[in-house]
Amino acid sequence: MTKDISKSIEACAAHYGDDADAVKNYLIEGQAKALELPNRGPLKFDTHGDIHEDILEAYSKFGFYVLEGVISDVELNDIRSDLDKIRDNFPIYMGADKDKHGRPALGSKNKSMTLQWARPLSDPLGGTQIFQYRASGGAVNSDGVRGSNTSNQSLGAIIDLGNSILGGDGTFPNGPDTLTVAVNLVDTSGINATSPFNVSSRITWSESQA
């Protein structure tokens, strides 16, 4: 069974102004081509209880595999019912202690924050610091101008980052990771109009292989 995503296509295309119709056709054609790929079907196992080789080969070739019928309608309806009950008990605004029915809102009696409003694809907790180091500028020349200096750092042994355009389930992490480089100036004594503080960075990465 294929889910109807026509409303999502319409909503996405609407953001492209005069090109909305072209984008809509592009997305519809892309969906049709995706549905033609031989990378969907029921969850299968081999005689050893491992994922069937057909699924692994299709995943390796196309980058994704659509498992069909893994969750029954009964299970899905149970999950939907629970989510509907949770949404129905959301606070009427961020920090409110009542829901729209006047009942104690979800998480309102907890000592710590358990529910927070956030924009889609945002990170309300401010991200995760993965690395920090101290760098210095170049030498100061006879005119009092400090030269540039380059330092290289590798994050490969610290964390894996992804740039996949495929989204997840609407919660963080969803889609590509965002790497933010923040710079704190320790000594400002040599910073002036002649010798301003400038920082530039370049990020390179290798593609992960399935």
Residues 66 and 127 in one domain: no
pLDDT value of position 129: 74
Residues 57 and 10 in one domain: yes
Q: 140 by DSSP, 3-state: which?
A: strand
The closest of 33, 35, 43 to 67, measured between CA atoms, is 43
Residues 55 and 137 in one domain: no
pLDDT value of position 112: 75
Provide mean pLDDT across the span 195-206.
80
Residues 122 and 209 in one domain: yes
208 has a pLDDT exceeding 70? no
Last residue of a domain, one of 88, 106, 140: 88
* Position 50 in a domain: yes
Residue 104 binned pLDDT confidence (cut-offs 50, 70, 90): very high
Please name the residue that has the structure tokens 């030498």: 139
Residues 194 and 122 in one domain: yes
> What is the total count of domains within the chain?
2
Cα–Cα distance between 28 and 204 in angstroms, integer? 33
Residues 81 and 146 in one domain: no
Last residue of a domain, one of 88, 110, 144: 88
Residues 84 and 134 in one domain: no
Show the domain range for 78.
6-88
Q: 43 by DSSP, 3-state: which?
A: coil
Ranking 45-49, 76-80, 101-105, 140-144 by mean pLDDT, the lowest is 140-144
**pLDDT, tens digit, for every residue of 14-52?**
888 889 899 999 999 988 998 899 999 999 999 999 999
* Position 98 in a domain: no
* Position 102 in a domain: no
Residues 131 and 206 in one domain: yes
* Position 146 in a domain: yes
Residues 210 and 128 in one domain: yes
* pTM, full prediction: 0.41
Last residue of a domain, one of 49, 71, 88: 88
Cα–Cα distance between 65 and 38 in angstroms, integer? 9
* Position 19 in a domain: yes
**pLDDT, tens digit, for every residue of 151-165?**
888 877 777 776 665
CA distances from 20 to 8, 11, 32, 48, 175 (A): 13, 10, 18, 50, 23
* Position 109 in a domain: no
Residues 84 and 137 in one domain: no
Residues 123 and 210 in one domain: yes
Residues 57 and 139 in one domain: no
* Position 1 in a domain: no
* Position 189 in a domain: yes
